[in-house]
């Protein structure tokens, strides 16, 4: 078992634990360090730093090696009391009444993903891991929402994010990717390139409940995201305001 950061000695400091074999543990540690320290991304630093400094030993995060391809990666809550990691959300107030918070268990096999900086949008091994770390970050704070977006009340472009959690994971990872000079991911279905700008996302009324929910649920994170000046950042758009509804080809 490895720990990130390896030098942490405070038993109350929720280090990220890495298990499953020396070779893979070393690679995961390398990727974590890239996201946290070596990349040019502030967004990546915010998420890893937020996990490490959450201040509750119960809410630590473990990354587990499944010893084989999953064609996916998964994060599940650990230590949640009757799903208390999840907010009591409604269709309009998506992160209402946050839960107690929980630890996270990430199942992730780095070798099935492209090298850092490679592959389709969102499919590099650092982007995949950061996506899961966003889930763990939300679980720690009792904000993890598995509300299903596959309902007729939601526009098709919203349904393609599958769950509320995945909207945040995709968007925050997109900010990271943009800071690293890469293409950004369209949604949670595959790894297609997003051909809309940040203002078309933030000004779309269909996405507004999601952005409003995070601003209310984690204002400190949103405050920091707004400071990041990069080509794609819906929290701090650089583009001129456009008619968002005109650039989407679905209902």
Most confident listed range (47-56, 72-81, 96-105, 166-175): 166-175
Is the pLDDT confidence value at 137 over 90?
A: yes
Per-residue pLDDT of 101-115, as tens digits, reads: 899 999 999 999 999
What is the structure's pLDDT at 12? Answer: 59
Written in H, E and C, the secondary structure of the chain is CEEECCCCCCCCCCCEEEECCHHHHHHHHHHHHHHHHHCCCHHHHHHHHHHHCCCCHHHCEEEECCCCCCCCCEEEEECCCCCCCCCCCCCCCCCCCCCCCCEEEEECCHHHCECCCCCCCCCEHHHHHHHHHHHHHHHHCCCCCCCECCCCCCCHHHHCCCEHHHHHHHHHHHHHHHHCCCCCECCCCCCCECCCCHHHHHCCCCCHHHHHHHHHHCHHHHHHHCCCCCCCCCCCCCCCCCCHHHCCCCC
What is the structure's pLDDT at 49? Answer: 94
Is the pLDDT confidence value at 11 over 80?
A: no
Mean pLDDT of 105-126: 97
What is the structure's pLDDT at 59? Answer: 81
CA atoms within 13 A on the CB side of 66: 16
What is the structure's pLDDT at 109? Answer: 98
Mean pLDDT of 160-172: 96
Residue whose C-alpha is closest to residue 77's, from 168, 11, 141: 141
Mean pLDDT of 53-81: 88
Most confident listed range (84-93, 183-192, 196-205): 183-192
The pLDDT-based confidence of 70 (bands split at 50, 70, 90) is very high
Is the pLDDT confidence value at 123 over 80?
A: yes
Starting at the earlier edge strand, list the strands of the sheet with 2-4. Answer: 2-4, 16-19, 61-64, 103-107, 74-78
What is the structure's pLDDT at 110? Answer: 97
Is the pLDDT confidence value at 7 over 70?
A: no
Task: Let me know how long the chain is.
Answer: 251
Is the pLDDT confidence value at 188 over 50?
A: yes
Per-residue pLDDT of 39-55, as tens digits, reads: 999 999 999 999 998 86
What is the structure's pLDDT at 240? Answer: 45
Please state the pTM of the whole predicted model. Answer: 0.92
């Amino acid at each position: 078992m490895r720990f990130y950061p390896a030098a942490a000695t405070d038993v109350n400091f929720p280090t990220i634990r890495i298990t499953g074999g020396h070779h893979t543990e070393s690679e995961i540690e390398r990727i974590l360090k890239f996201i946290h320290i070596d990349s040019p991304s502030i967004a990546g630093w915010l998420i890893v730093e937020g996990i490490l400094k959450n201040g509750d030993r119960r809410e630590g995060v473990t990354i587990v090696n499944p010893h084989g391809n999953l064609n996916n990666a998964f994060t599940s809550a650990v230590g949640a009391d009757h799903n208390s990691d999840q907010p009591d959300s409604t269709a309009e107030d998506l992160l209402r009444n946050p839960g107690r918070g929980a630890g996270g268990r990430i199942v992730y096999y780095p070798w099935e993903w492209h090298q850092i900086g490679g592959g389709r949008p969102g499919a590099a091994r650092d982007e995949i891991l950061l996506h899961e770390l966003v889930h763990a970050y939300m679980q720690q704070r009792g904000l993890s929402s598995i509300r299903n977006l596959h309902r007729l009340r939601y526009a098709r472009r919203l349904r393609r994010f599958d769950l509320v959690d995945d909207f945040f994971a995709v968007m925050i990872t997109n900010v990271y990717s943009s800071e690293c000079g890469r293409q950004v991911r369209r949604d949670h279905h595959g790894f297609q390139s997003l051909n809309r700008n940040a203002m078309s996302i933030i000004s779309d009324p269909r996405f507004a409940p999601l952005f409003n929910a995070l601003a209310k649920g984690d204002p400190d994170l949103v405050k920091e995201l707004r400071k990041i000046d990069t080509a794609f950042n819906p929290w701090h758009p650089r583009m001129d305001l456009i008619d968002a509804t005109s650039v989407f080809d679905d209902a």
